[in-house]
């Protein structure tokens, strides 16, 4: 799907902020930035926005839990990761979406390939991050099937996670039957 110029600018800014937060090891800002990408992911349903959301959330978890200390040459990894984001920023700023998506995928692969000892752990963090972000995307109105497909996960994994989340009773709004009937009549008239 074609991403509008205004959204390209927003994505470039988001990637810049991510680079800074990663250098500062600011897990809170990384989580916030990940949540901001959910909007783009819902609007454009492109793999790059979804991958960014998952990647940034996974990085926030690695920093929050101080698991980055287990990654050999963390600082070298951050430098490489941020240089890939620089390329992605240039590509999206030039409105070259194919290159942009390639660089985002390259960033994901660079995280996955960090440490042989941590490979399984990082893959687990990425998988859990994908399911977490998937639940946010689902809350924004995408179908469970479509959300699972975009994330490369199963509907079962996603629905299991969504089902475990406790619903805030204040968030649940019901409409009495008379109002629903009135709305239906207005809709079909």
pLDDT of residue 1: 54
Task: Kindly state the average pLDDT of the residues 44-57.
Answer: 83
Question: What is the spatial distance between Cα 137 and Cα 97, in angstroms, rounded to a whole number?
Answer: 22
Task: Kindly state the average pLDDT of the residues 50-60.
Answer: 89
Task: Kindly state the average pLDDT of the residues 166-173.
Answer: 49
* pTM of this structure: 0.73
Which pair of tokens denotes residue 103? 């660089």
Question: What is the spatial distance between Cα 53 and Cα 18, in angstroms, rounded to a whole number?
Answer: 11
Query: For residue 138, what are the CA distances in angstroms to 15, 48, 130, 160, 162?
Result: 23, 17, 12, 13, 9
- What's the domain range around 138? 5-188
CA atoms in the 13 A half-sphere facing the CB of 115: 14
pLDDT of residue 17: 97
Number of independent structural domains in the chain: 1
How many other C-beta atoms can be found within 10 angstroms of the C-beta atom of residue 74? 17
Give yes or no for a contact between 42 and 1, defined as CB atoms under 8 angstroms apart: no
Q: pLDDT confidence of 29, banded at 50, 70, 90? A: very high
Task: Kindly state the average pLDDT of the residues 157-161.
Answer: 80
pLDDT of residue 13: 95
């Amino acid at each position: 799907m074609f991403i509008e110029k205004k959204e390209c600018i927003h994505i470039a800014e988001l990637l810049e902020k991510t680079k800074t937060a990663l250098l500062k090891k600011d897990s809170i800002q990384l989580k916030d930035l990940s949540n901001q990408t959910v909007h783009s992911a819902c609007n454009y349903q492109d793999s790059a926005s979804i991958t960014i959301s998952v990647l940034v959330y996974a990085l926030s978890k690695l920093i929050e839990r101080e698991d980055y200390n287990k990654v050999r040459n963390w600082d070298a990894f951050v430098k490489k990761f941020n240089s890939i984001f620089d390329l992605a920023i240039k590509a999206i700023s030039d409105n070259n979406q194919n290159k942009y998506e390639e660089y985002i995928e390259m960033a994901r692969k660079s995280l996955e390939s960090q440490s042989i000892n941590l490979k399984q752990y990082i893959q687990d963090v990425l998988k859990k991050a994908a399911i977490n972000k998937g639940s946010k995307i689902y809350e924004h109105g995408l179908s469970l099937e479509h959300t699972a497909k975009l994330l490369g996960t199963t509907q079962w994994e996603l629905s299991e996670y969504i089902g475990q989340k406790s619903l805030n009773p204040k968030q649940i709004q019901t409409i009495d039957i008379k109002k629903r009937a009135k709305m239906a009549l207005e809709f079909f008239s």
